[in-house]
C-alpha cells in the first residue's frame, strides 16, 4: 500500500539554526515527492518536488529536500530557520500516472526567536 510517514508531530528549532523535517514513504514504482506548507486557516502551498535526477531539490523560501532512494526518505531542510517558517508541513507522494496524492499526517514546526 502507498503511504507517507512523518514521524515527528512537532519540531522545535531556534531561529538561525538549521532545521530538518522528516518524511519516509512506501512505494511500488517510482514516486513523485512533494512538500507543502500550511499557515493557519489557509490552504496548502507548494514548496518543492522531486521528479528525477539530482537528489537535492531546491524550492521556495530557501527550503530544500534530499531524496534518498535506499532509505525511501525525502527530508525537508533549511540552513537557517526563521520565526516566519513556523507552520504545518506536509510531505506527499504520487505515483507515475496516478491521480491521487497521498499526504503524511503533517509536522508542526515551531521556530523560536
Partner 1 sequence: SQTIHQWPATLVQPVGSPLSLECTVEGTSNPNLYWYRQAAGRGLQLLFYSVGIGQISSEVPQNLSASRPQDRQFILSSKKLLLSDSGFYLCAWRRTGESYSPLHFGNGTRLTVT
Give the range of 10-18, 37-45, 62-70, 78-86 binding partner 1 by CB under 8 A.
37-45
The yes or no reply on residue 5 touching partner 1 (CB under 8 A) is no
- Residue 84 φ then ψ, to 5°: -70, -10
Span from 14-22, 42-50, 60-68, 71-79 in contact with partner 1 (CB under 8 A)? 42-50
Contact 7, 103 (CB under 8 A): no
Contact 110, 86 (CB under 8 A): yes
The contact mask relative to partner 1 for 44-83 (x = CB under 8 A, - = no) is: xxx--x-x--------------------------------
Strands 10-14 and 107-112: parallel
Please give the grid coordinates belonging to residue 24. Answer: 519516509
Query: Does residue 110 bind partner 1 (CB under 8 A)?
Result: no
Q: What 3-state class would DSSP assign to 60?
A: helix
Using the rule CB under 8 A, is 11 a contact of partner 1? no
Q: Which residue has the cell 523535517?
A: 21
Which residues are 78's β-sheet partners?
19
- Residue 106 binds partner 1, judged by CB under 8 A: yes
Name the residues that contact partner 1, by CB under 8 A: 32, 34, 36, 41-46, 49, 51, 88, 90, 92, 94-106
Amino acid at each position: 500500500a502507498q503511504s507517507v510517514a512523518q514521524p515527528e508531530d512537532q519540531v522545535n528549532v531556534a531561529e538561525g539554526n538549521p532545521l530538518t523535517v522528516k518524511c519516509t514513504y512506501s512505494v511500488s514504482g517510482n514516486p513523485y515527492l512533494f512538500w507543502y506548507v500550511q499557515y493557519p486557516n489557509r490552504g496548502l502551498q507548494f514548496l518543492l518536488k522531486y521528479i528525477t535526477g539530482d537528489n537535492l531539490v531546491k524550492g521556495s523560501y530557501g527550503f530544500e529536500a534530499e531524496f534518498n532512494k535506499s532509505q525511501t526518505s525525502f527530508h525537508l531542510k533549511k540552513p537557517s530557520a526563521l520565526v516566519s517558517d513556523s507552520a504545518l508541513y506536509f510531505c506527499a507522494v504520487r505515483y507515475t500516472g496516478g491521480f491521487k496524492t497521498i499526504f503524511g499526517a503533517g509536522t508542526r514546526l515551531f521556530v523560536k526567536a
